Amino acid sequence: MKKRIIPMLWIAAVLALSCALVSCDKLFIPGDVPDGPSALTLSSDAGERTSEPLSYNWRKTKTDTVSGKEGPDPLSASYDPLIVQPGERLCLTFADGNVPWIVNAMFYESDGEGGFLEMIALPQPEKEEGGDAYFFSAPEEDGVIVVEALWPRWVNTGISAEAIYGFYVWSAKG
């Protein structure tokens, strides 16, 4: 009788652990973690623009040193403008399925003289159930959208990653 109880407890423990792991949105295993952040594409009805990270900090495992890139200030970078309709639904997609857990978007309205007004926090981009894209509404004015992407810090892998992207949008409000 004892021989049967131990394997049954072991099987129950394995099943419980498997269920816990499956319920995670995404399990990061060091071998599966990319070496750095992927490109980000912003899409509107008029087209799309892709941005490499302007700057980032990336740690793949507990033992890795932080790799990174200190790029230009998003407000002084060069952009190919994307035309947007005020309030239109914009889409953010990350290349290679390297989807962060948190995406924040800020908007800096153009002052019309080559500078920018104060930062306006946009509503946090939302991910649709089961999808990999993030969506938010286009701003009313011309300016720069700065996107901050954050990947989780997992105790078992030591991952710590963040990246900053930028896009210049022209409002077609006319």
Break the chain into its structural domains and give their ranges. 28-171
Higher pLDDT, 20 or 149: 149
- Three-state SS for 98? coil
Lowest-confidence pick of 69-78, 80-89, 107-116, 156-165: 156-165
Per the document, the length of the chain is 174
DSSP label of 123: P
- Which pLDDT belongs to residue 80? 95
Higher pLDDT, 24 or 38: 38
- Which pLDDT belongs to residue 147? 96
Is pLDDT above 90 for 30?
A: no
- Which pLDDT belongs to residue 67? 73
Q: Is 34 exposed, middle or buried (0-12, 13-18, 19+ CB in 10 A)?
A: middle
- Written as six digits, the tokens of 147 are 């996107």
Name which of 145, 147, 152 is nearest 163 in CA terms.
147
- Which pLDDT belongs to residue 25? 40
Higher pLDDT, 25 or 168: 168
Average pLDDT value for the chain: 80
Strand partners, 59: 160
Structure pTM?
A: 0.76
- Which pLDDT belongs to residue 61? 63
Percent of residues, the chain, with pLDDT higher than 70:
71
